């Protein structure tokens, strides 16, 4: 029983410490009273935790009795980033998505004005997608590509339009900048993109973004179906499943969604 109580106390201490660090990360500096209000911790308790965090070098108290996070938190986080391998980290997520939906999963990264497949999980069906790791794909007519375009600034998008004509790959390819802009707005607002036979005939794809700790889209993951195998009735449910998977991967990479 004593051990259970000790475990509960340790868990409570960890949760309080994290709440203090998260509160400090939201402000440039804060006094004890406001920090107590933000964290819902009594001042006496808060002072004990702040004293420990200060002695460890994670928090600084200035001459005006304002508390600040130090760069030690950034230092610890940046060291962990060096050990974070995007492809190896993404593999179990792609594999699980492939198993759950039964179709081929790709992950691509931005490479100049195109995207490149860096990961592929093949479906178990006899009829499969013709693709390979290292394949270069256009941005304007693929689900993965639209994710990257929707994350671009206005200037980046203008530069892309200026140097990349919208050559149609299929009768369904988007052919005008206006139509593409509208599609990118929809992509941004819902959090996922589609390729409705725009790059390859009879192939339908849904993709969602993978973000890093800064909120920048560093990759995109998509699932591809032969059009006859795609269940239109489950469209939104499938899209949300893909989005949930990439959100989970993004969180592992340090991304914290906006509240």
Domain harbouring 25, CATH code:
1.10.10.10
Domain presence at residue 258: no
**Residue numbers in the chain where pLDDT is lower than 70:** 1-11, 75, 77-84, 126-131, 258-259
Same domain flag for 112 and 28: no
Same domain flag for 198 and 112: yes
pLDDT at 8: 53
pLDDT at 10: 57
Domain presence at residue 62: yes
CA distances from 133 to 106, 117, 149, 202 (A): 8, 5, 21, 21
> The domain containing residue 59 runs over which residues?
2-79
Same domain flag for 31 and 93: no
Domain presence at residue 107: yes
Here the CATH number for the domain that contains residue 139 is 3.30.450.40
pLDDT at 30: 93
CA atoms within 13 A on the CB side of 65: 6
Domain count across the chain: 2
pLDDT at 133: 80
Rounded CA-CA distance 174/195 in Å is 10
Against a cut of 0.75, is the pTM above it? no
pLDDT at 52: 93
Rounded CA-CA distance 144/138 in Å is 9
pLDDT at 4: 42
């Amino acid at each position: 029983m004593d051990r259970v109580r000790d475990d509960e106390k340790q868990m409570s201490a960890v949760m309080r410490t994290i709440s203090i660090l998260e509160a400090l990360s939201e402000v440039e500096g804060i006094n004890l009273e406001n920090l107590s209000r933000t964290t819902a911790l009594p001042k006496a308790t808060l002072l004990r935790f702040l004293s420990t965090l200060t002695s460890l070098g994670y928090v600084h108290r200035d001459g005006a009795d304002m508390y600040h996070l130090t760069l030690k938190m950034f230092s610890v986080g940046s060291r962990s980033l060096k050990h974070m391998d995007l492809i190896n980290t993404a593999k179990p997520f792609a594999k699980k998505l492939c198993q759950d939906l039964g179709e081929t999963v790709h992950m691509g990264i931005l490479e100049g004005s195109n995207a490149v497949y860096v990961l592929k999980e093949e479906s178990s069906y006899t009829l499969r997608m013709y693709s390979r790791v290292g394949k270069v794909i256009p941005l304007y007519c693929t689900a993965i590509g639209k994710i990257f375009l929707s994350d671009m600034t206005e200037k980046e998008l203008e530069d892309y339009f200026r140097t990349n004509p919208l050559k149609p790959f299929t009768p369904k390819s988007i052919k005008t900048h206006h139509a593409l802009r509208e599609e990118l707005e929809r992509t941004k607002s819902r959090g996922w993109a589609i390729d409705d036979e725009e790059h390859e005939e009879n192939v339908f794809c849904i993709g969602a973004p993978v973000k890093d700790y800064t909120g920048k889209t560093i990759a995109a993951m998509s699932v591809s179906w032969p059009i006859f195998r795609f269940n239109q009735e489950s469209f939104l449910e499938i899209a949300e499943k893909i989005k949930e998977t990439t959100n989970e991967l993004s969180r592992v990479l340090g991304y914290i969604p906006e509240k």
